Structure 1
C-alpha cells in the first residue's frame, strides 16, 4: 500500500543523504497530481554553489531504456525483427555462427553471451581500468578521447564468451547496447543520437534530455565527483568527459523531471505500443555488474525490493554521477534521484565495497519516495 507523499519527510531524507557524505543530491517524486521536488548539498564543493533540482545530469545506464525504446519503435515500423539474428543486420560486427545465433532480443535483455568490453579496453586501447585495478589515471587521460564504437564492440565480440546465446542467467554487458546503437544507425541511416532524439526524446516532450556528441554538459549542472573507492582523494570532478566510451549504453544527459515524465509515459504505452511495452517487461535472470542476479527485460527491469506488480525502471552510474528512476506499474507514482559522487565506498580485502552510511540514507529516501 502506497502512502501519500510527505514533503517534510522527503526533505529530511534528502538532507540525510547529503549529511551521510554525498556532496549533492536532487530528486523529484510524483504521485498523480502531487509533486515533490528537492535538493540538498552542493553542486560545487569548492565554491559552495548549492545543488538544484532542475540541474541537467549524466544518468549512465538509464540510457538503455531510451535505446531499447528506440529499437522497439523500429520493430513496430517493421524495420527490425525482435527475434531476428543480429548477423542479418551487422554481419561484419558479429560474424559467422554467432551472428546467426544472437538475436536482437538477446542484445536487449543481455542474454547474448557477449562479454563486456570495458575490462579489455585498458590493455588494448589504453583506456579504462577494470574496477579491480588500483590506478585511475586513465580516467584523466581519456577525458577528450573520441572512441570508435566498432572498436569497442570488437573487444567484446572477440573476448571469451560469458555464455551461449539465449542461455540464462544472462550477463549484463554494455557491448550489447553499443551493438544496438549500430543497428539503429544501419536501419535508419541516421546517427544513434539523431535516432533516439527523433523517435523517443522529442515525441516524449523531453526538453532537457540529450544523447551528447561532445564532452560538455550544457545548461545548469553539477560538478560530478569520482572517488574511485577512496583512491581519488579528494574526489575529482569529471563533469567534462567525452561519453563515446559508452554511447547508447550510458551517455544520456537529462533531468529528474524529464526522467519522471519519460517513465510515466513509457509505462502508459505512450512511447512504445502496449504490446511492445509488454515485451520490454518480460524478464529473464541476468547477472548484474555487481554480481547479483536480477530480473531484466528489454532495457527495463523490476526494482529490487519492490513488491509484485510494483516499480520498474533503471539505474545508472558514470564517472562521478549516478541516478535511479522508477515508476509504479500504473505510472502514477514516479521517482527520480540523482547524486553527484560515485564509488564512495572503500574496498575490503577481497576487493568488495564496504557498506557506507550513504547506502542506508539512499535506501531510506527510495523507500519513502516509492511507498511512503
Structure 2
C-alpha cells in the first residue's frame, strides 16, 4: 500500500514546478478519504493574482474520456455497435470503402487511420508536428472563429490517411472524436455536448464541469499562457478563445476536484457498466501528438510510474493550458493537476523540443502525488 498523503512534500513539489518556470498550477490528490488540495504561483502574471485550487480550467483532451463514456452508454442501450462501421451511421461524412472499414471502436481508440484536421484548420501550423516549420500566427487569427464541426471532419477525412483502418500503431487524431460527436448527435437526436452534459457530467454529480457557451471561461479561472516553443516570447494569454475548433474532442471546462470525482466514479463502474469499462481498458499502441507511442484504450490510457500499480486517466492541452488526471486501478489514489503555460520547451536546430526544468519538476510532483 502506498504512503498516506504527505502534504508538506506535495506543497514543496508544487512550489518547485512554479520556480522552474510555470506561472501557476493547482492540484488535488486523494488517498481514500484523505484529500489534499494545493496551488502555487499566479493566475495573472501582470497583476500577481494567485492561483487557487478551486479554479475552473480548460482541460483539453480529457474531454475525450467523457465523449467515449457517452458513446459506450449508447453501445449499452443498443443504439450504437462498437464494431459497426461508421459508414452505417454517417455515410456522407465517411463515404465509400473507408466508411465500411472504419468501426466505431477504431474512432475511439485512434486506429481509424484518419488524419488530424488541425494543421488544415490552422494554416500556420500546417507543418505540425514538424514544429520547427510552424508559427503561432493562426492562434491569433482564430481566437474568435466559429468553426463548423462538419467542415473540420471533412478536412481530416480528405487529408492523406495516416494508416490503414485498424492498423497498428494507431495515430492520435481529433478527427476521430469530432466524428464521435456527430455519431452521438445522429443516434440521440441532440447535440453531443447536451447529451454528454445530461448523461455523463450530471450523472457524475459534477458541479463545475461543462462545455463553454462562448469564448470565455465562467467563474474563477487563470489566464492561459502559450509559448509555442519559445516563438511567443513572452508567452501570450489565450484564456479567451472560441473552442469550436475542438468541440467534443477537447473543449470541456472543469476543476481538479471534479476530475478526480469523475475518474473515480468511472473506474468504479458507475458511469458506464463494468463490461464497458473493461472495453475502455483494452489498449492498443497509438502514436501521440508528441510522437511517442503510448498504450491507448477507449478514451482512457494507462500510466506507469516508478512504483507499483497502474494509473488510468487522460491528459489534455489547449492553447496556453494543460491538465492531467490519473486514478490508480483500485480507485484509491488519485491526482488531478492543472497548469497555465503550454509548450514551454524550446526547439533545437532539428525542431526537437529540448528538456526544460519544468519537465523534471512536474515528474517529481507526479511521483510524490502517486506514491507519497
Question: For this structure pair, what is the TM-score category when the shorter chain's length is used for normalisation?
Answer: over 0.9
Q: How many Å separate the matches in 1 of 2:146 and 2:277?
A: 34
Query: Is residue 222 of structure 1 aligned with residue 222 of structure 2?
Result: yes
Q: How many Å separate the matches in 2 of 1:352 and 1:128?
A: 17
Residue 43 of structure 1 aligns to a residue whose secondary structure is coil
Counterpart residue number, 1:292: 292
**TM-score, normalised by the number of residues in structure 2:** 0.97
Is residue 225–residue 341 contact of structure 2 (8 Å, CA) maintained in 1? yes
The C-alpha deviation readout for 1:127-154, integer Å capped at 9, x for no partner, is 8773523421111111110001111111
Is residue 267–residue 329 contact of structure 1 (8 Å, CA) maintained in 2? yes
Is residue 302–residue 313 contact of structure 1 (8 Å, CA) maintained in 2? yes
Counterpart residue number, 1:165: 165
Evaluate the alpha carbon distance shift between residue 192 and residue 306 of structure 1 in structure 2; reply closer, same or farther with a 3 A threshold.
Answer: farther
Write out aligned runs for 1:336-347 (5 A).
336-347=336-347
Is residue 122–residue 130 contact of structure 1 (8 Å, CA) maintained in 2? no
Counterpart residue number, 1:13: 13
Q: How many Å separate the matches in 2 of 1:310 and 1:231?
A: 36
Residue 308 of structure 1 deviates from its aligned partner by 7.1
Counterpart residue number, 2:266: 266
Number of paired residues?
370
Query: Is residue 356 of structure 1 aligned with residue 356 of structure 2?
Result: yes
Counterpart residue number, 1:244: 244
Query: Is residue 305 of structure 1 aligned with residue 305 of structure 2?
Result: yes
> What runs of 5+ residues in structure 2 fail to find an aligned partner?
none
**TM-score, normalised by the number of residues in structure 1:** 0.97
Please report the RMSD computed on the Cα atoms of aligned residues, expressed in angstroms: 1.3
Write out aligned runs for 1:123-272 (5 A).
123=123, 130-131=128-129, 132=131, 133-272=133-272
> What runs of 5+ residues in structure 1 fail to find an aligned partner?
none
Residue 211 of structure 1 deviates from its aligned partner by 1.6
Residue 121 of structure 1 deviates from its aligned partner by 2.1
Counterpart residue number, 2:41: 41
Query: Is residue 324 of structure 1 aligned with residue 329 of structure 2?
Result: no
Q: How many Å separate the matches in 1 of 2:69 and 2:170?
A: 20
Residue 306 of structure 1 deviates from its aligned partner by 6.3
Deviating 4+ runs (over 4 angstroms): 126-129, 306-309
Is residue 223–residue 237 contact of structure 1 (8 Å, CA) maintained in 2? yes
